[in-house]
Structure 1
Amino acid sequence: MSIIVTGGDGYIGWPTGLRIARRTDERVVLVDNFGRREWVQSVGSKSAAPISDMDDRLDGARTVHDVRNLSFVEGDLTDRAFVERLLTTHEPSVIVHTAAQPSAPYSQINGERANYTQHNNLQATRNLVWGLHEQDMTDTHFIETTTTGVYGAPDFPIPEGGAVMEHEGRRDSVPFPAMAGSWYHLTKCHDAANLRLAHKQFGLPISDVRTAITYGTETEETRADDRLNTRFDFDYYFGVVAHRFCAQAVAGYPLTVYGKGEQRKPFVSLEDAVEGLAQLALTDHTERPDEHVVYNQTTRPISIVEIANTIADVAGEFDLDVDVTHVENPREEDEEHAMEIDNDRYMELIGEQRQDFESGVRDILGTLTEHRKTIVSHEDRFLPDVLE
């Protein structure tokens, strides 16, 4: 038996696999096709923190953390034959599925990228759940990181999972409606529906972990050695807003807030995201639910202007003089949307928040100032049009 972590070369997948391996004697198998490295290169960018090849990463895990139960398999999850071999060879008790093309802007570039994103993400998930069914492994706990983006931005508190629908005086619980804003986010809406169906038809225990915007450069494990770095993207396509703002600060540009910037988005630190996935993966078989459970993987909503102001404040610790400016918003959005999102189930899982936003920003700026040459040489990849 083993624990499989897909997307094991990725931003969340690599530190998740490393944490799980440190806490268990079971074999932990990382799976990846190195697609993220290729996608980022194709848009003219790279990881700010240099990332080692997988052999060096595994050697670092053995040397620094004495982790000897971590291994790697290269393969494409859209290939049904590969997935069948993976499952029959390793017989997983748990699959943590973090593999996906994760960028909304990348999926919006053109029809080819939209088609690729939809095929890659949906085919991989379907192959895994169908593979478990066809190989009679329906006791395997399937954990997937979908996204809080499936909820859109409704004007009511977002429940942790379902919703209540009322019509002609009758009420019932229903899956939350798909309110995606990109071709990428729609893949996760479809995945959420497919996971619900896989539980209903196959009896698979499912944890649908709806991951918020994730910030940070380090976890407890990765900060111990440069070979254990996880990737850190700062470009327009793969870098989240907090990471792009930090890159602007390090490159000497003002932080540009579109409009009022008071709209709030759900956030979670990399440390807190990894902890939740590790806790789920290591839940004892006799204690985990045999149900379909949704977790809102977020610690709190943060407004865009709060992000910018926090980065500007912390930047002073790194001798960076950073201004925050407001520019005309080119997007059609509610600049004062006060998002509310339930996260009781997720907070109960991790116990307490392990890293707050200010601490995460401090880590990010520490990493980016160390690799400032990389940031400056790629500034055309993250600067908004108003500064170009």
Structure 2
Amino acid sequence: MSVIVTGGDGYLGWPTALRIATRTDDRVVLVDNFARREWVEEVGSVSATPIADIDDRLAAAVEVHGLDNLSFVEADLTDRAEVDKLLQIHEPGTIIHTAAQPSAPYSQINGERANYTQHNNLQATRNLLFGLHENDMTETHFVETTTTGVYGAPEFPIPEGGATMENDGERDEVPFPAMAGSWYHLTKSHDAANMRLAHQQFDIPISDVRTAIVYGTETEETRADDRLNTRFDFDYYFGTVTHRFCAQAVAGYPVTVYGKGEQRKPFVSLEDAVEGLAQLALTDPDERPDDHVVYNQVTRAISIVEIANTISEVGEAYDLDVAVEHFENPRDEDETHKMEIENDRYADLIGGQSQTFEEAVDDILDTLIQYDDRVKAHEDRFLPGVLEE
């Protein structure tokens, strides 16, 4: 048996594969088509942390951690024939599916990129699910990182999974309604529905890991050698809010808060996200639920203005004079929304939060200062504008 990690060249997939490989003698197969590198180049940006090519990454994993159980397959998961070949050769006991076009802003640029995002993400997931079914591998544990963005921003606490619906005095548990706010987020809503159907029809054990906004530059495994860096995007299209704010601080820019910035969003550190996926990958098949399980991969909700103020405060230790400025919000959102989201199941999986937000910000700033030349050379990518025509 092996573990397949799709998106194995990516921000989350690469450190997850390293974590899994350190804890098992089973083969860990990374799968990617390097599209993320191309998308970021397309919008005129780079990863702040230099990323080695995959051969150098694997060589470093052997040299530094002794991980001779890692291998790599270049494949396009939207090609069904390639997926069948992948499954038939490697016969995975678990698939950790992190491969996707992950950017809401990129998916919103125009119709071409919306179509690309939906085709790429949905086709890959369907191919994997039907590949398991039609190759008689329905005992394989299928784990996908969807997103907490499928929930939208309801005014009530978000459950970890389904919802209770009541009509004419009758109550029942139903899937949480798709309330996504972008063409990207809607792909994950559809993936969630397709995984539920695949479980019902094919009996595939499914873990739908609804990933919050991930922040951080390193994990225990990647910090051992620069060749093991995971990527760190900071541009408007692929840089998440914490990463973009930290890059602005290092470049000497004011941190740009849209509107009041009092709205809270769900977050999880890279370390805690990787740990949860590793736990799911390594659970003994006899002990894991033979079921469809939803995890809210989140450790806490944080307001946008709190993120900015924390970066400003932590930045003082690095002699960074970080100004926090408020700009007109280009997004249609409630700037005071106080999100509440349940996460007991995920907290139990990882044993609680391993790193505070302040500690993670300190890590990020320490890393970015080492590569501030790369950030400053692409500081024009902090704000939207490229590819809008």
TM range (shorter): over 0.9
Local SS of the residue matching 1:296:
strand
- The equivalent of 2:280 in structure 1 is 280
Structure 1 contact 15–274 (Cα < 8 Å) conserved = yes
- The equivalent of 2:11 in structure 1 is 11
Local SS of the residue matching 1:30:
strand
How many residue pairs get matched? 385
For 2:304, give the aligned amino acid.
I
Say whether residues 1:317 and 2:317 are aligned partners.
yes
Structure 2 contact 29–71 (Cα < 8 Å) conserved = yes
Give ranges in structure 1 of 5+ residues lacking alignment. Answer: none
- The equivalent of 2:354 in structure 1 is 354
For 2:150, give the aligned amino acid.
V
- The equivalent of 2:242 in structure 1 is 242
The separation in 2 between residues aligned to 1:69 and 1:129, in whole angstroms, is: 25
- The equivalent of 1:172 in structure 2 is 172
1:286-305 → structure 2 map (5 Å cutoff): 286-305=286-305
- The equivalent of 1:87 in structure 2 is 87
For 1:322, give the aligned amino acid.
V
TM (norm. structure 2) is: 0.98
The separation in 2 between residues aligned to 1:74 and 1:43, in whole angstroms, is: 23
TM-fit CA distance, 1:197: 0.2
Local SS of the residue matching 1:106:
helix
Local SS of the residue matching 1:156:
coil
TM-fit CA distance, 1:259: 2.1
- The equivalent of 1:191 in structure 2 is 191
Task: State, as a whole percentage, how many aligned pairs show the same letter.
Answer: 78
- The equivalent of 1:155 in structure 2 is 155
The separation in 1 between residues aligned to 2:333 and 2:94, in whole angstroms, is: 40
TM-fit CA distance, 1:305: 0.6
- The equivalent of 1:114 in structure 2 is 114
Say whether residues 1:37 and 2:33 are aligned partners.
no
The separation in 2 between residues aligned to 1:329 and 1:234, in whole angstroms, is: 19
- The equivalent of 1:327 in structure 2 is 327
The separation in 1 between residues aligned to 2:189 and 2:137, in whole angstroms, is: 25
- The equivalent of 1:27 in structure 2 is 27
- The equivalent of 1:264 in structure 2 is 264
Structure 1 contact 248–383 (Cα < 8 Å) conserved = no
Structure 2 contact 16–278 (Cα < 8 Å) conserved = yes
- The equivalent of 2:340 in structure 1 is 340
Deviations 1:157-179 (A, max 9, x none): 00000000111111100000000
TM-fit CA distance, 1:330: 3.3
TM-fit CA distance, 1:287: 0.3
Structure 1 contact 12–274 (Cα < 8 Å) conserved = yes
For 1:363, give the aligned amino acid.
D
TM-fit CA distance, 1:48: 0.4
Structure 2 contact 237–384 (Cα < 8 Å) conserved = no
Local SS of the residue matching 1:359:
helix
TM-fit CA distance, 1:370: 0.7
Local SS of the residue matching 1:253:
coil
Say whether residues 1:370 and 2:370 are aligned partners.
yes
- The equivalent of 2:56 in structure 1 is 56
Local SS of the residue matching 1:287:
coil
TM-fit CA distance, 1:323: 1.2
The separation in 2 between residues aligned to 1:355 and 1:114, in whole angstroms, is: 35
Structure 1 residue ranges, 4+ long, deviating more than 4 angstroms after superposition: none
TM-fit CA distance, 1:384: 6.5
RMSD: 0.9
Deviations 1:306-349 (A, max 9, x none): 00000000111111111112233333321111000000000000
The separation in 1 between residues aligned to 2:329 and 2:13, in whole angstroms, is: 34
